[in-house]
Copies of this chain bind each other. A is one copy, B any other.
Amino acid sequence: MKAIIQRVTRASVTVGGETMSSIGQGLCVLLGISVEDTHTDAEYMVRKILNLRLFEDDNGRAWTKSVMDRDYEVLCVSQFTLQCVLKGNKPDFHSAMPAELAQPFYASILENMRSAYKPELVKDGKFGTSMQVDIQNDGPVTIELTSPSVSSDPRQLSKLEKQQQRKEKVRSKGPSESSRAEKSALRARQDTHASSGADGDVSSEREP
């Protein structure tokens, strides 16, 4: 799972000229879910987004406060194009989780983020729709996050990562973890076109 996190003074989502949601100061997060992602990746991402220290404190000391520390807002938008593999200069999106799987998964991520923070401060785009996302990037400050490819076997988590998890504020409230094997089986049963995002015509094209 990849996230592009932009620190913003304001951000909004418009569909067909109509504003769907908007935030003031906070984070605009573009979230790209891959076919390999599980709830472990989602939990990591929610935890990092909410706890990353990208804001200053009241004395102007940079990189000291998180979006939660400051009671700022989060605008999260699904962005399958982040799961792009270039074939020459042509983007290929077969690594993106197919829309029919990505939509409920993405919804559960949003739900977990709202539960871990304040529901009214976490806004959303409109999944699978062509949107204009208006981002006033403040700084600019942009962070690219990729969830670590940790096995679901907790013995393989590094000591540091486990300490980190204990220290951080987000409690896992998500549904029980679905394994990569289950996901793969589900995928195998479906006709999987990676059209999990904006524009009706952006389904990825396989190279011959």
Q: Which residues of A contact B (CB under 8 A)?
A: 2, 4, 6, 9, 30, 48, 51-54, 56, 60-63, 66, 77, 79, 81-82, 84, 86, 88-91, 125, 130-144, 164, 167-168, 197-199, 201-202, 205
Complex contact B53–A139 (CB within 8 A): no
Which residues of the partner chain B approach A125 to less than 8 Å between Cβ atoms?
A: 140
A30-B140, A82-B142, A143-B84 known; A91-B135 Cβ under 8 A: no
Q: Can you pick out 21 interface pairs between chain A and chain B where the beta carbons lie within 8 Å of each other?
A: A30-B142, A52-B86, A60-B201, A62-B201, A62-B202, A79-B142, A81-B139, A82-B143, A88-B164, A88-B167, A91-B143, A131-B140, A132-B137, A132-B138, A133-B137, A133-B140, A134-B137, A139-B199, A139-B202, A140-B198, A141-B198
Chain B residues near A66 (CB, 8 Å)? 89
Contact of B136 with A133 in the complex, beta carbons under 8 Å: yes
Q: How far is the CA of A123 from the CA of B125 in the complex (A)?
A: 29
Contact, CB under 8 Å: B132 / A135: no
List the B side residues contacting A134 at CB < 8 Å: 134-137
Q: Cβ of A81 and Cβ of B51 under 8 Å apart?
A: no
CA distance A54 to B84 in the complex (A): 11
Pairwise interchain contact A144-B201, C-beta atoms closer than 8 A: no
Q: Determine the distance from Cα of A6 to Cα of B4 in the docked complex, in whole angstroms.
A: 11
- Also in contact, A91 and B4, with CB within 8 A (given A134-B136, A198-B139): no
Q: Are A53 and B142 in contact (CB under 8 A)?
A: no
Q: Which residue of B lies closest to A202 (CB)?
A: B62
CB distance from A150 to the nearest CB of B (A): 15
Q: Which B residues are CB-close (under 8 A) to A199?
A: 62, 139
